[in-house]
Amino acid sequence: MELVFNNVNFLLTGAYYTLLITIISMFFGFIIALIVAIARLKGNWLVRNVARGYVSIIRGTPILVQIFIVYYGLPDFGITFGPLTAAYISLSINIGAYLSETFRGAILSVSKGQTEAALSLGLSQWQTMVKVILPQAARVAIPPMGNTFIGMLKETSLVSVVTVTELLRSAQLLIAQYYIAMPFYIAIGLMYWIMSMVFSGILNRVETKLSKAY
């Protein structure tokens, strides 16, 4: 494991990019998911079907193909992104589709009586959604959202195929340099596990606070 300790800073840089990609992709994916979930529930016929089609296509195709389309396919139409930007875009679009179903289910879990009561008090549809429905839906959405977040953390390893030097790519470069694999794979496995446990702990605390609030 001496080689691992000698190159720990390089691996930590890879871990930094893994976390950066995960957090940014989750942030934009969260926004996409919320818009799509509300569109499927409140939109007109056209909007609902466009949102449904987006979810179906993204969930029905491999994320690796989506990464290739954004990085290698779009340049055919004159649209070019750098490796890191392509990673953000493809992962955000992917996670947005999965989270939208989580959010839609969470919103539907809130009883219609809550909406009726809010409207009877003079709140608008938008105010009812923001102040009444979404806070209660968040409590339901946190556990599956946490699983999705941790899954995304691990799926960032796929962007190594477009030369993003995240954690897996960092290990691969070191393996190519030293011609030894096992210590580096064990090291990054432990690093992924630690990051996953940290995020699980954070999300559990958030879930506990939301449970007490509602």
pLDDT digits (tens, 9 = 90+) for 183-204: 999 999 999 999 999 988 887 7
User: 33 lies in which domain range?
Assistant: 2-213
Higher pLDDT pick, 132 / 64 = 64
Instruction: Determine the 3-state secondary structure of 62 from DSSP.
Output: coil
Domains in the chain, number: 1
The pLDDT of residue 93 is 95
DSSP string for residues in 105-171: HHHHHS-HHHHHHHHHTT--HHHHIIIIIHHHHHHHHHHHHHHHHHHHHHHGGGGGGGT--SHHHHH
- The pTM assigned to this predicted structure is 0.87
pLDDT band at 214 (very low <50, low <70, confident <90, very high): low
- Gap between the Cα atoms of 87 and 84, Å rounded: 5
Which helix or strand (DSSP H or E) is residue 197 part of? helix 182-213
The pLDDT of residue 44 is 87
CATH, residue 69: 1.10.3720.10
